[in-house]
Amino acid sequence: MLDNRSSLTESPFTDSPVALITGAAQRIGACIARTLHQQGYSLLIHYRHSAAEANALAEELNRLRPDSCRCLQANLTDMTEVERLAEQVIELGRLDLLINNASAFYPTPVDQVTQQAWDDLINSNLRAAFFISTRLSNLIAEQEGAIINLIDIHAQRGLKGYPIYSIAKAGLQMMTQSLAKELAPAVRVNGVSPGPILWPEAKAALTPEQQHEVVSKTLLQRCGSPQDIADAVLFLSNAHYITGQILCVDGGKSLFS
C-alpha cells in the first residue's frame, strides 16, 4: 500500500536517482537507506510489518531533504502484493537501483519442517527478489542502473539447522549470476554476502555461547557492522564495469577452516 496519499509523480522526487530497498525499515536495510540517501538518492523504503520504524526513518531523511523518501508496504510472500509493489514503482517512472534485502530467517529442523516454512523462506528470500527484479528490469534499464541482492555466505556452505534458508540464499546467488546474463548490458546485477553482522532476533536468537562460537570462526575475530554492508552496496552501485559478482563481507569467515 502506498502510504503517501499524493501521487508519486507530482514532485521532484524523481529528479534524483531513485533506489528501492526492500525490508528497509530497520537493521541493515535502514543503514543502506541512510548511506544511499547521503549520496543523493531518493528512496523508496519498503516494509512489511515495521510501519512505525519505516515512517520514522522516512521522516528523519525527509527532514534532511524534503520529499526524498517514501514508504511502500507489501508482504513479499504474496505475489499479488509483489506485483502491486512493482506497479507502484513503474507508475513513479524512475528506478536506478534495486536492493533486494528483505528476508525471513529462522531454523527449520528437517524432522519438523512444514510446507508453510518452505513457502515463507523461499518466497521472501528468493521468489520475491526474482519477480521484483524482472518486473522492474525495463525501468532500471532506462537508467542503465543496477540490482544488488543481499545474499549470505551460507549460500555457499549451508548453515546447519537452516536448510531452507540456505537453499533460498543459494538460489539468490544463482539468480544474481543468471540475471546478470539475462539483463546485460543495460542492467548490472551483483550481490553482497554478509557474514555475522547483526545477531538474529526472536525465534532465530543465539545464546552468548553460540554467538562466541560464530565470531571465533571469523579471521578478524569480530562481527561486522551494518555500515560495512552498506559500504559494499554503495561500492557495487558505483562499479560500472562489475556485473554478476558476489562480494563477501564476512571478516574472512568463508575462508576459515
Ligand X SMILES: NC(=O)c1ccc[n+]([C@@H]2O[C@H](COP(=O)([O-])OP(=O)(O)OC[C@H]3O[C@@H](n4cnc5c(N)ncnc54)[C@H](OP(=O)(O)O)[C@@H]3O)[C@@H](O)[C@H]2O)c1
Cβ distance to ligand X smaller for residue 62 or 106: 106
- Shortest distance, position 169 Cβ to ligand X, whole Å: 7
Cβ distance to ligand X smaller for residue 68 or 124: 124
- Shortest distance, position 161 Cβ to ligand X, whole Å: 15
**Residue showing the smallest CB distance to ligand X in the complex:** 23
Cβ distance to ligand X smaller for residue 138 or 221: 221
- Shortest distance, position 76 Cβ to ligand X, whole Å: 3
Cβ distance to ligand X smaller for residue 23 or 171: 23
Contacts of residue 61, defined as CB under 8 A and 6 or more positions apart, other chains included, come to 33, 34, 37, 43, 68, 69
- Shortest distance, position 22 Cβ to ligand X, whole Å: 6
Cβ distance to ligand X smaller for residue 49 or 63: 49
**Contacting positions for ligand X (CB under 6 A):** 23, 25-29, 47-50, 75-77, 101-105, 124, 150, 152, 194, 196-198
Is 47 part of the annotated catalytic residue set?
no
- Shortest distance, position 12 Cβ to ligand X, whole Å: 27
The 3-class secondary structure across the chain, one letter per residue, is CECCCCCCCCCHHHHCCEEEECCCCCHHHHHHHHHHHHCCCEEEEEECCCHHHHHHHHHHHHHHCCCCEEEEECCCCCHHHHHHHHHHHHHHCCCCEEEECCCCCCCCCCCCCCHHHHHHHHHHHHHHHHHHHHHHHHHHHHCCCEEEEECCHHHCCCCCCCHHHHHHHHHHHHHHHHHHHHHCCCCEEEEEEECCCCCCCHHHCCCHHHHHHHHHCCCCCCCCCHHHHHHHHHHHHHCCCCCCCEEEECCCHHHCC
Q: So which residues are the catalytic ones?
A: 165
